[in-house]
Amino acid sequence: MTKPIALIDCNNFYASCERVFQPQLMGKPIVVLSNNDGCVIARSNEAKALGVEMGAPWHLNKENFERLGVKIRSSNYALYGDMSARVMRTLRQFSPSLEVYSIDEAFLCLDGIADLENHARDLRKTVAQWTGIPVSVGIAPTKTLAKVANKIAKSDARSGGVFCLMDDGQQIAALKKIGLTDIWGIAHRLALRLQETGMTSPLDLRDVDPKLIRQAFGVTVERIALELRGVPCLEIEDISPPRKSLVASRSFGRPVEILNDMHEAVATYANRAAEKMRKQNLATANIVVFIETNSFRKQDRQYRASQTVNLSVATADSGKITTAALKGLSAIWRSGFLYKKAGVMLLDLVSADHVQGSLFQPTDTLVSKARMQAMDAINQRFGRGTIRVAATGLQASWQLRRNFMSARYTTDWRELLRV
């Protein structure tokens, strides 16, 4: 029995947040701008109707917006974060199993709900009453189809903000009407590659043999194809996994040409990143620094590079992180370019509690060592090449191989020999 999954998406979230606190903006075209007012990152329906594009550079559209009477707001992420938390709290009333997917989206498991559509309409009404934010609800057997359903809920006025895509016939009809890039996980480049092999619509992708898809496009696209058929490949993750990496980066107001200036910027980002990390009680041993030129300026020579610096001992120390970032910078720095952006990324974050200044060894390394030892032990006991023979299907050795593979879940390789 398939479990219905709902995708709840806040309509024009940032624009809607601004409206909650400035009701005079109701019914007006609004645009929210990115960090340093660089480009459009959110639009109200009215602004969309006027033809305002997502990502439109502010400097090219300033006069145009004024002429059209579009209201402009700089982004206020603290506000949006608070509003998001309110929306999510409200959603929890409607299902115990909820995955917060982004600041303005959540997946909900609606298993056991008899009247899905009514439930969803009730949810919509409650969120609007409690938070002032309008949402759309798409319901389907898989996340990918729920995304499609949500799109319909949003664009088709007759839906009233709720759309169910639970049966096969409806799904086919819906997939016929949309393009490849309307599918979650397929953007420009993948769509081009799919088209080259003759798949021009989501329906084609759905109906091609998944094995062939996997061969040609990898596991990610295979999953998408299966999900389009209604086969769930992506679970609802109601416990959010710990963060794996974090970034501090900015575009420069004017291009940076001098190493000294870049030094300063990178040091600032390294500090900001370290600060963010400590706030979450994390530590890192892998620091990435990256620099890039302005890819919008086709007339300029382009260069982008990144460098990872491994510290082997995880740290939360800003000084060490900054030093590592600057070391990376000197490795990739090339003069003669107009740099537009730079940043510092911290990878493989671990809880700072496990570090405590002592020698840090990632669990993976311990496990892989144990696995190596296990492999040799098996080879020694059963003869060289046992693992290889196992792959050919000998029954006794097959069990060994299975144990061997599951070594990733245990650090005691001795267990492996208990067959």
Partner DNA sequence: TCTGGGGTCCTAGGACCC
Handedness of CA 189, 194, 199, 201 (dihedral sign): negative
Under DSSP, the state recorded for 406 is: G
CB of 201 to DNA, least distance (A): 16
Instruction: State which of positions 60-99 bind DNA (CB under 7 A).
Output: none
DSSP reduced 3-state for 360: coil
Cross-strand partners of 72: 31
Amino acid identity of 7? L
- Rule CB under 7 A: say whether 301 interacts with DNA: no
Which one among 79, 111, 255, 303 touches DNA, defined by CB under 7 A? 255
* Nearer of residues 167 and 396 to DNA, judged by Cβ: 396
**In 3D, which of 352, 348, 377, 367 has the Cα closest to residue 405?**
367
The answer to whether 308 contacts DNA (rule: CB under 7 A) is: yes
| Pick 244 or 381: Cβ nearer DNA | 244
Nearer residue to DNA within complex by CB, 82 or 364: 364
Q: Which of 186, 225, 291, 400 binds DNA (CB under 7 A)?
A: 186
Q: Of 351, 245, 360, which Cα lies nearest the Cα of 313?
A: 360
Residue 199 C-beta: closest distance to DNA, Å: 13
Q: 17: which 2 tokens?
A: 């947040």
399 counts as binding DNA under rule CB under 7 A? no
Nearer to DNA, 118 or 368 (CB): 368
Are the C-beta atoms of residues 104 and 16 closer than 8 Å to each other?
Answer: no
Of 59 and 211, nearer to DNA (C-beta) is 59
Q: Which is nearer to DNA, 122 or 181 (CB)?
A: 181
19-38 residues in contact with DNA (CB under 7 A) are 34-36, 38
**CB neighbours of residue 37 within 10 Å:** 15
- Give the length of the chain: 419
Distance of CA 187 to the CA centre of its chain: 14
| C-beta neighbour count of 48 within 10 angstroms | 15
Q: Which 325-384 positions form the footprint of DNA (CB under 7 A)?
A: 340-341, 343, 362, 364-365, 367-368, 371-372, 375-376, 379, 384
Nearer CB in complex with DNA: 2/215: 215
Rounded CA-CA distance 121/136 in Å is 9
Q: Rounded to the nearest whole angstrom, what is the least distance from the CB of residue 77 to DNA in the complex?
A: 9
Interaction of residue 251 with DNA, rule CB under 7 A = yes
Distant-in-sequence contacts of 217-224, Cβ < 8 A, 24+ apart: 217/190, 217/193, 220/185, 221/185, 221/186, 221/190, 221/194, 224/144, 224/183, 224/184, 224/185, 224/186
For position 202 contacting DNA by CB under 7 A, the verdict is: no
- Residue number with CB closer to DNA (167 or 275): 275
Stretch that binds DNA, among 16-24, 154-162, 387-395, 411-419 (CB under 7 A): 387-395
Q: Which of 286, 315, 386, 403 binds DNA (CB under 7 A)?
A: 286
Applying CB under 7 A, does 393 fall inside the site for DNA? no
Pick between residue 113 and residue 270 the one whose CB is nearest to DNA.
Answer: 270
Return the beta strands (E) in 181-256 as ranges. 246-256
Which residue from 166, 155, 129, 133 is spatially nearest to 6, judged by alpha carbons? 166
Give dist(CA 338, CA 298) in Å, integer.
12
Sole binder of DNA in the list 219, 258, 259, 396 (CB under 7 A):
219
Interacting residue with DNA among 250, 263, 278, 320 (CB under 7 A): 250
> Among 67, 158, 188, 279, which residue interacts with DNA (rule: CB under 7 A)?
188
CB of 251 to DNA, least distance (A): 4
Q: Which of 97, 294, 318, 323 binds DNA (CB under 7 A)?
A: 294
Beta carbon of residue 28, minimum distance to DNA (angstroms, whole number): 22
For residues 6 and 123, give the distance between their C-alpha atoms in angstroms, rounded to a whole number.
11
| 184 forms part of the interface with DNA (CB under 7 A) | yes
Question: By the 8 A CB rule, do 170 and 152 touch?
Answer: no
Tell me which residues in 98-127 interact with DNA (CB under 7 A). Answer: 101-105
Which residues of 211-281 form beta strands (DSSP E)? 246-256
Residue 244: count other Cβ atoms within 10 Å of its Cβ: 11
> Applying CB under 7 A, does 190 fall inside the site for DNA?
yes
CB of 7 to DNA, least distance (A): 9
Nearest CA among 156, 333, 145 for reference residue 226: 145
Q: Which CB sits closer to DNA, 126 or 306?
A: 306
